């Protein structure tokens, strides 16, 4: 990299470190004393964790053992609020030997602020003579400038480090940078040699486990009063940059000198602009060559936008966050995370450098969780109400009321609601994929939109996209064209799409899916990967990917504009009529076709009454006579049901469902085989049904319910339709054409025909064996061609044969 052409006199004064201006109010004497006190605290932590007390029993192994014990105690007392943080926080209490490993590039050192404050890992008594403690500084090569009066005194200093980490992290980091090189050889002599290797770099520092009084919302974290402090923020990554190399100390050579000296320029870590050396002493030499590591010191960083989780709106506040070093590997776009970070400020952009109004952002010091499970939050009194309701009802009684209350203005079509209810709770987390994907292919006016909107409203973590406006970036993830993550702008920032942004408990709705292949675009590859693998690689960022772990609800109309209903007699499958790729169909658990035809008398009457009830206000939640469970109740019910995530099937139930599967595969007369994938879908639905019972075990009742739903889906009604083959109507029609053709052949004297003879013959004899109208010529021709290609055979006449344009039967 060369910097020729960049004017070297463009050197700014480092920006004022605002972090240092907001310390607690303290008088000057205290401030002066503070650095010394802080150094004693850091020294105390290092002494203990690097095994300096080994001769009094506090060996590396003993420190590791006490880490596990103190971690167990902290967990039992509820200090770890996210299970996923347990490992990280436990390792933070381990010895430095264990934390650092023995590679040239040491693993990060992790500080657990809460663990340090509690000090459960420190023994209550110690054999270390106080005379030794007082001069402890002499025991190691560097200068911490202190000793300790007593073991109690030492423990106080150790525990005070927690507050320094939270309120004055940058000072602690500076002290660590000074002291660590002297401490490393105390841990293991091998560090002497390793530190001399030119590729060695100091371990990075992570801080986790701040006390819950440091929890801030995204909005609160942006407040100036937090500057220079550690906070813990919960949010969702809505934009993520690729990895970049940030220069900490930049080394330069004059680009014109023959034997240039290395010029080291420490960089401002809170500003993106590179600082250059003063011009070379030779007149006219004004270019610099930047030297790569190890001459320069660099770190890897990624930046991201963190937005409040569990919000619908995309314009809610977001805070810029920066991940450094090892932490850059632990993050993907769209994830919901709990971060501990250090609040800093920086210029908003290149032109606002001298602007004293700066942007607040977060340097992440630790990731406490990147798999947060924050579902719809149920209050204790709400839980009590739901449990009381549920305990008083059988599985079927629960189901009846839930179905009635699900999208209440739609009466009837219960099987659709059943599928959507099961989608809300999802299958077992023990399965490779627990999410249930549903597709509704429906004529306009069949209630598709009302039902999908209701599904959407059941969780604020759900996301919506219309197929008409859908793009790969919008649906899956893409790159931002105008990002503000770096002051120079950055064109390769990952912006997770709708499928990658759904939070726990939510679903993704793709409405108007018949537009997905509109205008030459084809989203099916990415959509298929998102549905099946649940993560999609992003080609424009090396190693970039988005996670699309969400249940998907697809709603589609027939695609043909001038004929707004699905045509059961069409040559096209339902999926094709909706513009849906066969390959996408095969990834759906429950594809349902909703045709606007006359239903049974009973169902029609129910609908008519419903229309009147609607006028009566019966479906309004505020009507006390209404038998409808309100939306909040439904949200709480589903949230509780989702807690039963690990559902198991007994061998008996597995056998029972397998039998049904075999029956479905063998029992069909049309030769279609029900896919093996149906078994997986059936399993998911049965597990979901168990969750509705607030149970972790699938019973026969749940299995039956799953089979019942499956029998209403396209997969069972017409398996090949779900596979992208024929509609049931198509199969029936082809069979009718075949029968008419053979009737005609049995009667005629001719043995050689052209296509028109066959069409005419079928027309003439259609009503000999069939009812209703004769199919169109196109359908007949297509069917005849199909009989030839599939080798369809008649017991007497045999199969069709063709020579040139002449047709006949091969039993001739």
* Cβ closest to Zn ion, residue 30 vs residue 257: 257
Candidate ranges 63-71, 110-118, 285-293, 710-718; the one touching Zn ion (CB under 5 A): 285-293
- Is residue 110 near Zn ion by the rule CB under 5 A? no
* Binding piece for Zn ion, criterion CB under 5 A, among 136-144, 279-287, 365-373, 566-574: 279-287
Shortest Å distance, C-beta 289 to Zn ion: 10
Answer for the pair 374, 642: CB distance below 8 angstroms, yes or no. Answer: no
Question: Which residues between 728 and 787 bind Zn ion (CB under 5 A)?
Answer: none
For the bound state, the minimum distance from the C-beta of residue 262 to Zn ion, rounded and expressed in Å, comes to: 12
Residues 6+ apart with CB under 8 A from 555: 439, 440, 442, 448, 449, 452, 509, 510, 511, 512, 513
Among 18, 218, 280, 741, binds Zn ion (CB under 5 A): 280
Q: Is the peptide bond before 294 cis (omega within 30 degrees of 0)?
A: yes
Binding residues for Zn ion, total number by CB under 5 A: 6
Question: Rule CB under 5 A: is residue 278 a binding residue for Zn ion?
Answer: no
Nearest CA to 100 among 195, 199, 198, 165? 195
Residue 322 and residue 249 in contact, taking contact as beta carbons nearer than 8 Å: no
In the complex with Zn ion, the residue whose CB is nearer, 276 or 744, is 276
3 state SS of 716: helix
Q: x/- site string to Zn ion, residues 462 to 481, per CB under 5 A?
A: --------------------
285 forms part of the interface with Zn ion (CB under 5 A): yes
Query: Is 135 or 257 the residue whose CB approaches Zn ion more closely?
Result: 257
Distance in Å, CB of 287 to Zn ion, minimum: 9
- Smaller CB separation from Zn ion, 280 or 689: 280
Q: How far is the CB of 250 from Zn ion (least distance, A)?
A: 17
Closer to Zn ion by CB, 291 or 634: give it. Answer: 291
Measured CA to CA, the distance from residue 168 to residue 20 in angstroms comes to 8
Alpha carbon of 275 to those of 157, 270, 281, 400, 587: distances in Å?
A: 38, 12, 18, 69, 53
Q: How far is the CB of 292 from Zn ion (least distance, A)?
A: 20
Residue of 31, 248, 282, 450 interacting with Zn ion (CB under 5 A) = 282
The Cα–Cα gap between 582 and 505 comes to 28
Q: Cβ of residue 255: shortest distance to Zn ion, in angstroms?
A: 7
Nearest residue to 340 via CA among 205, 175, 450, 249: 205
Question: 128 vs 280, which CB is nearer to Zn ion?
Answer: 280
Instruction: Please check whether residue 797 is in contact with residue 753, taking contact to mean a CB–CB distance below 8 angstroms.
Output: no
Q: How far apart are CA 359 and CA 372, in angstroms?
A: 27
Sequence-ordered strand ranges (E) for 33-128: 109-112
Cβ closest to Zn ion, residue 243 vs residue 256: 256
Of residues 282 and 608, the one with the C-beta less far from Zn ion = 282
Within 10 angstroms of residue 215's Cβ, the number of other Cβ atoms is: 15
DSSP count for the chain of H helices, then E strands? 28, 25
> Mask: binding to Zn ion, 353-372, rule CB under 5 A, as x and -?
--------------------
For Zn ion, the closer of residues 69 and 282 by Cβ is: 282
Stretch that binds Zn ion, among 272-280, 497-505, 686-694, 783-791 (CB under 5 A): 272-280
The least CB distance from residue 294 to Zn ion, in Å, is 23
319: its two tokens:
């805070």
Distance of closest approach, residue 133 Cβ to Zn ion, in angstroms: 54
Which x/- pattern, by CB under 5 A, does the window 386-425 give for Zn ion? ----------------------------------------
Give the β-pairing of 438-442 and 109-112: unpaired
Binding window for Zn ion (CB under 5 A); candidates: 28-36, 87-95, 280-288, 606-614: 280-288
Q: Which is nearer to Zn ion, 163 or 289 (CB)?
A: 289
CB of 290 to Zn ion, least distance (A): 15
Task: Give the other-Cβ count within 10 Å of 529's Cβ.
Answer: 16
**What's the min distance (Å) between Cβ of 281 and Zn ion?**
7
CA distances from 689 to 420, 709, 754 (A): 12, 11, 57
Do residues 342 and 229 make contact, with C-beta atoms less than 8 angstroms apart? yes
- Contacting range for Zn ion; rule: CB under 5 A; set: 2-10, 83-91, 273-281, 775-783: 273-281
Q: Which residue number, 287 or 504, has a Cβ lying nearer to Zn ion? A: 287
Min separation Cβ 288 and Zn ion, Å: 9
Residues in 247-266 at the binding interface with Zn ion, rule: CB under 5 A = 254, 256-257
Q: What is the DSSP string of 651-699?
A: HHHHHHHHHHHHHHHHS-SS-----THHHHHHHHHHHHHHHHTT-SEE-
Closest distance to Zn ion from the beta carbon of 254 (Å) = 3
CB-nearer residue toward Zn ion: 148 or 252: 252
Quick one: 285 or 763, whose CB is closer to Zn ion? Answer: 285
The distance of closest approach from Cβ of residue 276 to Zn ion in the complex, given in angstroms and rounded to an integer, is 13
Torsion angles phi and psi, residue 416, rounded to 5: -70, -45
d(CA 293, CA 467): 48
Stretch that binds Zn ion, among 78-86, 216-224, 283-291, 340-348 (CB under 5 A): 283-291
| C-alpha span between 357 and 353 (Å, rounded) | 9
Q: Closest separation between CB of residue 264 and Zn ion, Å?
A: 16
3-state secondary structure 528-572: HHHHHCCEEECCCCCCCEEECCCCEEEEECCCCCCCCCCCCCCCC
Question: Which residue number, 282 or 747, has a Cβ lying nearer to Zn ion?
Answer: 282
- For Zn ion, the binding residues (CB under 5 A) are 254, 256-257, 280, 282, 285
């Amino acid at each position: 990299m060369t910097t020729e052409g960049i004017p070297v006199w463009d050197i700014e004064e480092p920006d004022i470190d605002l972090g240092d201006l907001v310390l607690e109010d303290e008088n000057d004497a205290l401030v002066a004393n503070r650095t010394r006190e802080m150094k004693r605290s850091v020294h105390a932590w290092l002494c203990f964790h690097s095994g300096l007390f080994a001769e009094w029993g506090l060996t590396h192994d003993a420190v590791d053992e006490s880490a596990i014990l103190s971690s167990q105690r902290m967990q039992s007392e509820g200090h770890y609020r996210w299970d996923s943080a347990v490992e990280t926080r436990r390792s933070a209490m381990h010895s430095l030997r264990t934390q650092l490993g023995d590679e040239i590039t040491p693993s990060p050192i992790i500080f657990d602020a809460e663990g340090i404050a509690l000090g459960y890992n420190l023994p209550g008594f110690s054999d270390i003579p106080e005379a030794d403690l007082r001069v402890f500084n002499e025991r190691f090569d560097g200068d911490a400038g202190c000793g300790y009066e007593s073991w109690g005194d030492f423990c106080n200093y150790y525990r005070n480090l927690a507050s320094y980490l939270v309120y004055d992290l940058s000072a602690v980091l500076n002290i660590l940078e000074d002291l660590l090189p002297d401490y490393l050889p105390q841990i293991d002599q091998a560090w002497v040699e390793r530190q001399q290797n030119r590729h060695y770099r100091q371990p990075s520092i992570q801080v986790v486990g701040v006390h819950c009084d440091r929890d801030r919302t995204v909005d609160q974290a942006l407040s100036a009063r937090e500057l220079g402090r550690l906070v813990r923020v919960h949010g969702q990554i809505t934009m993520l940059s690729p990895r970049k190399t940030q220069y900490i100390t930049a080394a330069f050579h004059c680009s014109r000198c023959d034997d240039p000296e290395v010029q080291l320029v420490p960089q401002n870590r809170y500003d993106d602009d590179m600082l250059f050396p003063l011009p070379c002493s030779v007149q006219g030499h004004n270019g610099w060559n930047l030297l790569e590591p190890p001459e320069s010191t660099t770190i890897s960083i990624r930046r991201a936008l963190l937005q409040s989780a569990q919000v619908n709106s995309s314009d809610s506040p977001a805070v810029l966050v920066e991940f450094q070093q090892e932490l850059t590997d632990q993050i993907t776009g769209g994830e919901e995370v709990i971060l501990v970070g250090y609040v800093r400020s920086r210029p908003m952009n290149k032109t606002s450098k001298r602007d004293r109004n700066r942007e607040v952002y977060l340097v992440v010091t630790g990731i406490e969780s990147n798999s947060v499970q924050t579902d719809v939050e149920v209050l204790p009194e709400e839980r009590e109400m739901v449990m009381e309701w549920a305990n008083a009802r059988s599985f079927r009684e629960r189901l009846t009321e839930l179905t009635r209350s699900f999208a209440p203005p739609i009466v009837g079509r219960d099987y659709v609601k059943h599928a959507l209810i099961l989608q809300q709770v999802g299958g077992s987390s023990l399965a490779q994929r627990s999410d249930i994907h549903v597709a509704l292919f429906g004529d306009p006016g069949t209630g598709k939109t009302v039902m999908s909107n209701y599904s959407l409203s059941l969780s604020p973590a759900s996301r919506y996209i219309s197929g008409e406006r859908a793009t790969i970036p919008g649906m899956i993830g893409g790159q931002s064209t105008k990002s503000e993550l770096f002051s120079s702008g950055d064109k390769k920032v990952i912006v997770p799409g709708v499928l990658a942004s759904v939070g726990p408990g939510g679903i993704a709705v793709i409405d108007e899916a018949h537009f997905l292949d509109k205008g030459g675009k084809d989203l099916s590859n990415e959509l298929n990967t998102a549905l099946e693998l649940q993560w999609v690689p992003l080609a424009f960022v090396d190693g970039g990917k988005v996670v699309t772990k969400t249940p998907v609800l697809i709603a589609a109309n027939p695609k043909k504009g001038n004929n707004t209903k699905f045509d059961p007699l069409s040559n096209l499958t339902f999926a094709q009529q909706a513009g849906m790729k066969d390959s996408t169909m095969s990834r759906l658990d429950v594809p349902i076709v909703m045709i606007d035809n006359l239903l049974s008398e009973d169902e029609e009457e129910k609908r008519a009454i419903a229309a009147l009830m609607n006028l009566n206000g019966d479906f309004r939640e505020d009507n006390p006579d209404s038998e409808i469970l309100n939306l909040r109740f439904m949200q709480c019910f589903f949230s509780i049901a989702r807690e039963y995530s690990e559902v198991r099937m007994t061998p008996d139930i597995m056998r029972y469902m397998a039998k049904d599967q075999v029956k479905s595969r063998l029992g069909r007369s049309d030769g279609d085989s029900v896919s093996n994938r149906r078994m997986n879908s059936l399993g998911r639905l049965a597990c979901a049904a168990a969750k509705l019972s607030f149970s972790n075990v699938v019973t026969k009742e749940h299995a039956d319910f799953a089979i019942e739903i499956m029998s209403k889906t396209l997969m069972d009604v017409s398996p090949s339709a779900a596979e992208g083959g024929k509609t049931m109507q198509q199969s029936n029609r082809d069979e009718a054409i075949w029968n008419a053709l053979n009737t005609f052949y049995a009667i005629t004297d001719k043995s050689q025909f052209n296509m028109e003879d066959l069409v005419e013959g079928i027309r003439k004899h259609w009503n000999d064996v069939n009812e209703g109208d004769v199919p169109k010529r196109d359908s007949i021709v297509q069917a005849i061609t199909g009989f030839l290609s599939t080798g369809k055979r008649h017991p007497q006449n045999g199969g069709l044969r063709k020579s040139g344009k002449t047709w006949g039967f091969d039993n001739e």
